[in-house]
């Protein structure tokens, strides 16, 4: 198992432990990760104590229709955008009735999308009372590496928010958050 996958599994277990300890819940909105965040979470025994579910909104119209991302924003900027990530996280939180929502959107490759190069990723967290963060990532590697690092990063961002130490960070390579 790769270091990124191991790191994601440990982070998923920690996220679920913290949420369960607070009697709080989590919902996930995924685009480029295509269900990998939900898979990491559900691999943890007892995940159902905190994990409500996920929406894999790979298509742009699903981001709009299911998650409530603003249509004008999608038309103007495309799906790979920090505000889209923020709205996805808030939308899945609302749609699935969770205390916390996280989201991933970006370009895993092999080709650029919406004028953004491969490795451009945005991860977001939305929490109670408007708490939330978006992180812009610039990831290296192949498609699988970018997707795995996106999972690790969104779980790390959520852990930061849960611990009160959240921060937005740009990373120029894998392993930044």
Q: What pLDDT, in 10s, does the model give residues 114-137? A: 899 999 999 999 999 877 899 999
Given a cut of 90, whether residue 2 has pLDDT beyond it is no
Radius of gyration (Cα) for the chain, nearest Å?
A: 14
Which pLDDT score, from 0 to 100, does residue 169 have? 39
DSSP state letters, 149-171: HHHHHHHHHHHHHHHT------B
Which pLDDT score, from 0 to 100, does residue 5 have? 43
The answer to pTM > 0.75 is: yes
Domains of the chain: 3-163 (3.90.950.20)
Lowest mean pLDDT, pick from 84-88, 101-105, 116-120, 127-131: 127-131
Give 165's pLDDT tier (boundaries 50, 70, 90): low
Q: What is the mean pLDDT of residues 140-149?
A: 97
Q: Higher confidence at residue 63 or residue 168?
A: 63
Give the DSSP H/E element, type plus range, for residue 135: strand 132-138
Per the CB < 8 A criterion, the answer to whether 153 and 176 are in contact is yes
Per the CB < 8 A criterion, the answer to whether 94 and 29 are in contact is no
């Amino acid at each position: 198992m790769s270091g990124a996958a191991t790191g994601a599994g440990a982070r998923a277990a920690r996220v679920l432990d913290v949420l369960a300890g607070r009697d709080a819940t989590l919902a996930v909105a995924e685009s480029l990760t295509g269900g990998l965040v939900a898979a990491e979470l559900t691999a943890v025994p007892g995940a159902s104590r905190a994990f409500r579910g996920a929406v894999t909104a790979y298509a742009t119209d699903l981001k709009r229709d299911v998650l409530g991302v603003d249509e004008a924003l999608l038309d103007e900027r495309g799906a790979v955008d920090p505000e889209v990530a923020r709205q996805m996280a808030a939308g899945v939180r609302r749609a699935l009735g969770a205390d916390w929502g996280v989201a991933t959107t970006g370009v895993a490759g092999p080709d650029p999308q919406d004028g953004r190069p491969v490795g451009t990723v945005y991860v977001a967290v939305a929490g109670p009372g408007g708490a939330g963060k978006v992180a812009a990532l610039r990831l290296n590697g192949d498609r699988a590496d970018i997707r795995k690092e996106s999972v690790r990063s969104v779980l790390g961002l959520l852990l930061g928010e849960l611990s009160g130490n959240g921060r937005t960070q740009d990373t120029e390579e894998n392993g930044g958050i």
